[in-house]
Each structure stands twice: as C-alpha cells, then as structure tokens.
Amino acid sequence: MSPSDFLIIPFDDWVNFLVRDWLVPNFRPFFRAMQVPISVVLNGLDDFLAFVPMVVTTLVFALLAFKYAGRGMAIFTLVGFAFIDMIGLWPETMTTLSMILTSVLFCTIIGVPVGILAARNDLTWKIARPVLDIMQTIPSFVYLVPIVMLFGVGMAPGIIATIIFALPPIIRLTNLGIRNVRTDLIEASTAFGSTPMQMLFELQLPLAMRTILAGLNQTLMLALSMVVITALIGAGGLGLTVNTGLGRLDVGGATAGGVGIVILAIVLDRITQGLGEQKRLETTSLRQTLVSLFKPGAAAPAEAGKAA
C-alpha cells in the first residue's frame, strides 16, 4: 500500500495550466516588456566590447589583474586573452563577457537592496529564504521551458535565466554581511544620533562590503557556469560554440569554447577576489577606527578641551 493507491495528484497538469494556459495568454506582453532594459544594456555592452580593439581590452584587464591580483595574474591575462584571439574566439568571448556583465549588473541592482531589506526585517528574510533555496536547487533546465514560453528565445531570455540562477548568493551574503556588523558599533552609532540611512550607508555597508563582494564573486561564477546552458535557448557567445561542437561531435571546437570560458572565468574570479581582499583591509582599518572612536571615554578629551 502506498499513498498513490488512494490519491493521484496531477501536479504536472496544474503547472501546465498555470504557465501555458494562464500566464502565457494573459501576461506574455508584460514579460516581454520586462526584457527591454536587459536588451538595451546587453546590446550596448556587446556593441562597445566589439568596437574596442582586442589589444585595448586585453591591456585594461591586465592592468586590473595587476592591481588586484598581482603580476602573475596580469601575465596570465595577457597570455590567455592572446590565446583566445589566436584560436579565433575573440568575438564570442566578448559576447559572453557582455552577457556576464549584464547578468551581474542586474543581479547587483536586485540583490543588494533585497539583501539589505532582508537584513533589516526578519519577516522579509523568512519569506526570501525558501525562495532562494528553490532558486539555488531547482535544475536550470527545468525553468528554461517556462522562460522560453514567457520571454521567447534569444540573448535577453538567456540573461533572465542567468539572473534567476545567479541571484541568490549576493542576496544571502548581503544579508549576512549587514547582520554581522558588530552590535556595539550599531548601538554607539544610534547613541550618536545617526539616522537609519546614515547608519546603513556610513557604517553597515562599508563594514559589510567584503562579504557583499564575496557574494558578487559567487554570482559572477554562477553566471559563467550558466552561459553554456543558455545557448540552448538562443544565447550566443562561447556557450554556443560549446553546444555546436557537442551537437556535431566536434571535440576540438567544444574544447576551444570550454578553454575560452575557463580563461575568462579565472581572470574575472581573481580580479573580484583581489578587490574583495582590498576591501577586507579597508574594512579592518575602518572597524578599528570606529572602535577607537566609540569606546567609552573617547570623547572625553575633546569635551575637556572645549571646556578649557
């Protein structure tokens, strides 16, 4: 005996009715309009990166790598980007980069405010947490079907799928970073008359910046891992190269696309990690300064001087 002997739940029929028979006929124009800002940003970035010469882009990324990750990473960037160009995948790499930057930009615009709201309101976090769990655990192929039905195929729907897949880490770590700000610093800030907005922008966000950047780094890596899958719904770039090679059993072409993704991932990962390490040092210095300012008796000498 099992529960199915007594009751069969037509869950798949319910989902089909919700998406195919209700959402698509009634709300598809709304969902199509939602992708307009994404298309504008994506097309602008893609055109810009295609316009900038390969040497200039490589030098910019090499300088960023040198600043945030050291000389070895700068050399790797120069060699890696030159290799991508020499195997004929530079345009596809720039398309992939524009997709990643667009995805990360919208993830940041959405994720940081939601994370701040979740950190300042326990009810919001209780609601957001199971939603984030679903977003992180559901297989990406599952929601590609409703995305195609609601948004169509192409680059912009691929970006939307990537945003859904890559959004949770930056929300979680923004929430975590703000919640982990020391209570005594918050109490001292309140005692000194700080407004909630002043406390957020001058105390909590600066001290939580390292954690937020760690979330940004994870979001970036998830966006990179999604580029191959979004090629299945019409997105281009290196993901399309990999999928084309897979469909034709072209081992060389698929490997070349995969190597391009790996090189891009390493460069972006090390740069964002280095930026987070720099913020860690700044945060440590800021925390020490605030502790020295807010500790008991810190204001006494100044008051005594004024009295004199």
CATH among 1.10.3720.10, 2.40.160.40, 2.40.30.10, 1.20.1260.10 for 27-295? 1.10.3720.10
Tokens of 205: 């966000």
Closest CA to 164 of 98, 212, 230: 230
**What is the per-residue pLDDT for 231?**
86
**pLDDT at residue 204 in the model:** 86
Q: Please give the mean pLDDT across all residues of the chain.
A: 85
Residue 301 has pLDDT above 50, yes or no: no
How would residue 249 be classed by pLDDT, with cut points 50, 70 and 90? confident
**Exposure pattern of 214-230 as b/e (b: 16+ CB <10 Å)?**
bbbbbbbbbbbebbbbb
Tell me the per-residue pLDDT of 91-103, one tens digit each, with 9 for 90 and over. Answer: 999 999 999 999 9
Q: Does residue 21 carry a pLDDT above 90?
A: no
pLDDT band at 89 (very low <50, low <70, confident <90, very high): very high
* pLDDT at position 184 over 50: yes
**Rounded distance, CA 225 to CA 217, Å?**
13
Residue 205 has pLDDT above 80, yes or no: yes
Domains of the chain by residue range: 27-295
Mean pLDDT calculated for residue range 73-80: 95
* pLDDT for the residue 111: 94
Give the predicted TM-score (pTM) of the model.
0.86
Give me Rg for the CA atoms of the chain. 24
In 170-291, beta strands by DSSP E: none
Q: 41 versus 144: which is more confidently predicted?
A: 41
| pLDDT surpassing 60 at residue 262 | yes
| Other beta carbons less than 10 A from residue 122's beta carbon | 10
DSSP tag of 88: T
Q: What's the pLDDT at 71?
A: 92
